[in-house]
Structure 1
Amino acid sequence: MSVVLITGAASGIGAATAREAVRRGHRVALADIDIAGASLLATVLGSAACAVELDIRDEDAWEAAFDTVASRLGPVEVLINNAGIIHTGYARQLSMAQHRHMVEVNLIGPMAGMMAALPRMRTQGHGHIITVCSMSSFMPLIGYTSYGATKHGLRAFHHSVAIEEQGGPVTFSIVHPPSTRTPMLEQEIADPSSVIAFAEKSLSPEQVASVIVDAIAKKPVEVVQPALAGRFQRAVGVFPRLMHFAIPKVAAMAKRRSPGAGPAPVTAREQGGSR
């Protein structure tokens, strides 16, 4: 069994992943900017878990987090980069500060985590980095401009580092969940600009968590969810003309399925987990 550090572990996919990892016998560090939420869950999970305060944008905080986990549970063997945020709204509606916030948390944050983990894992002779990305990494979606851009970038960075490190002691896996029933999805559903969230059946955090924890043992290169529809979406993303044709039609279909919620304030779910 492994020592696992999960970011965004206070709620959503991260919390579900922490519960599932402990259930399967792993020792788990719950890292989150919401230390109160992470601590509460760690208490429930018992001696196999601990909470660590972490703003993933802060390089020094990453180093401190790895040191803290090593002192409490042992050196980190598996890093699950899960934390993420979204500001809903069309690109023109968001401020540059909001666009920048998503880039800093969704892209720079996981990059900082990987760069902090990599030398430690190389030194100890083994390690596994699991990136929780998004199906939006394959296609540009209406209402998800900067969010999708960060996920495109995160996927590219993850695979580039994995290729650079081939033959080394660290393995890499990336998981792409679809729409997932978390507080982030509740925020998206409340905003008409994100109506495309209704285009697919959402999964529970527990369903996504099971796939993530499976990856600790199976070490897949890349996982899309759901398997068949995910492969189709990944293929569509290769062809720009097809995307420009298909995505507005999917959005129109999603609008017909939506409950017709009125406009909501543009806000963010802070580091609670990816879609």
Structure 2
Amino acid sequence: MGRLGERVAIVTGGAGGIGSAVARALAAEGASVVIADVRDAEGTGLAADLGHPARFVHLDVTSEDDWQRVLADTERELGPVSVLANIAGIIDWGPMEEQGPAAFRRVVDVNLTGVWLGMRAVAPSLRRAGGGVIVNMSSLAGLTAYAGVGAYAASKWGLRGLTRAAALEPAPDGVRVCSVHPGAIRTRMTAGFGDAYTAGQPIPRFGEPEEVARMVLFIVMDATSRRAVRSSWTAASWPGRRPS
């Protein structure tokens, strides 16, 4: 059955790149994987390749209605969610003076607001599952900065802070919230970049989506192996929580 048998996972951006690698890794360990994306043909093809119980659902991460629909359908068909992998992300290249406000907002809406909507929607399901893990895909750009990707860097720095704040809230209920910060990964987003792009890295090559997926799987395995362990701290004693 695999080490994640009976676990239910939602993977946003699951139709390609890092998202599809994460979906494959979770499915290989026996999880029921919901591949959530706006790329219907690619997502449907991946679900068919993975086989039952993997399935594809259309999800615009910036839509609260889409999140509620996906969660309701997932719980009805598979049960409460144990894993949420927020992988969906976009980028807009170019100098700040050339980037319009609409493009900036779109990047932030997908990369940051979309993650917030997902965590907000799925957190109650994770509690009903008895605990679990949320993995948010940030970036090395969320730890440093690069020219020409201001909106992307802002969204990833914001995601880092959002993750740290969100981790404090459901922790007493056995829910962990983590972020992962890859460097340059060989995906559609980095298509056309030459080897010179990675020349200054300690390991001067592009990473592969499967390498990031293994890190996500490590986090998920550690969290779900202890999903039944609850904190003895009360809401009143937890920093940032108001007494009930």
TM range, smaller chain: 0.7 to 0.9
> In structure 2, which of residues 164, 185, 189 is the aligned counterpart of residue 180 of structure 1?
185
Q: Which residue of 2 is the match for residue 19 of structure 1?
A: 24
Q: Indicate if the aligned counterparts of 1:142 and 1:196 stay in contact, CA closer than 8 A.
A: no
Alignment partner of 1:217 is 2:221: yes
Does the residue aligned with 1:84 lie in a helix, a strand or coil?
coil
- Looking at structure 1, the residues matched to 121 and 34 of structure 2 have their Cα atoms a distance apart, in angstroms, of 16
> In structure 2, which of residues 5, 15, 19 is the aligned counterpart of residue 10 of structure 1?
15
Q: Which amino acid aligns with 2:207?
A: L
Matched ranges for 1:113-192 at <5 A: 113-186=118-191, 189=193
After superposition, give the CA deviation of every residue in 1:107-152 in whole Å (9 maximum; x if it has no partner): 1000000000112222443231111111110112112211011000
Q: Which amino acid aligns with 2:216?
A: I
Which sections of structure 2, spanning at least 5 residues, go unmatched?
A: 225-244
Q: Which residue of 2 is the match for residue 207 of structure 1?
A: 211
- Looking at structure 1, the residues matched to 58 and 155 of structure 2 have their Cα atoms a distance apart, in angstroms, of 23
Give the stretch that moved more between structures: 133-142 or 169-178.
Answer: 169-178
- State the 1:196 CA deviation: 5.2
Q: Which amino acid aligns with 2:153?
A: G
Q: Indicate if the aligned counterparts of 1:52 and 1:68 stay in contact, CA closer than 8 A.
A: no
Q: Which residue of 2 is the match for residue 63 of structure 1?
A: 68
Q: Which amino acid aligns with 1:218?
A: D
Does the residue aligned with 1:155 lie in a helix, a strand or coil?
helix
1 or 2 for the larger relative contact order (CA 8 Å, sep ≥6)?
A: 1
Does the residue aligned with 2:14 lie in a helix, a strand or coil?
coil
Alignment partner of 1:34 is 2:71: no
- Looking at structure 2, the residues matched to 48 and 57 of structure 1 have their Cα atoms a distance apart, in angstroms, of 26
After superposition, give the CA deviation of every residue in 1:220-249 in whole Å (9 maximum; x if it has no partner): 9xxxxxxxxxxxxxxxxxxxxxxxxxxxxx
Does the residue aligned with 2:179 lie in a helix, a strand or coil?
strand
After superposition, give the CA deviation of every residue in 1:185-213 in whole Å (9 maximum; x if it has no partner): 116x38xxxx8565432101111111111
Q: Which amino acid aligns with 2:221?
A: A
- Looking at structure 1, the residues matched to 101 and 199 of structure 2 have their Cα atoms a distance apart, in angstroms, of 27
Alignment partner of 1:77 is 2:82: yes
Q: Which residue of 2 is the match for residue 273 of structure 1?
A: none
Q: Indicate if the aligned counterparts of 2:18 and 2:210 stay in contact, CA closer than 8 A.
A: yes
Which sections of structure 1, spanning at least 5 residues, go unmatched?
A: 221-275
- Looking at structure 1, the residues matched to 95 and 124 of structure 2 have their Cα atoms a distance apart, in angstroms, of 39
- Looking at structure 2, the residues matched to 166 and 78 of structure 1 have their Cα atoms a distance apart, in angstroms, of 14
- RMSD value, Cα: 1.8
Does the residue aligned with 1:55 lie in a helix, a strand or coil?
coil
| Aligned residues between the structures | 215
> In structure 2, which of residues 78, 96, 100 is the aligned counterpart of residue 95 of structure 1?
100
| Segments ≥4 residues shifted beyond 4 Å | 195-198
Q: TM-score, normalised by structure 2?
A: 0.83
After superposition, give the CA deviation of every residue in 1:12-65 in whole Å (9 maximum; x if it has no partner): 000111111111221111000112211110001000200011000001110110
Q: Percent identity?
A: 34
After superposition, give the CA deviation of every residue in 1:84-117 in whole Å (9 maximum; x if it has no partner): 0001111111111111110100010000000001
Q: Which amino acid aligns with 1:206?
A: E
Q: Which amino acid aligns with 2:63?
A: D
Does the residue aligned with 2:152 lie in a helix, a strand or coil?
helix
Q: Indicate if the aligned counterparts of 2:138 and 2:160 stay in contact, CA closer than 8 A.
A: yes
Q: Which residue of 2 is the match for residue 112 of structure 1?
A: 117
> In structure 2, which of residues 56, 59, 63 is the aligned counterpart of residue 54 of structure 1?
59
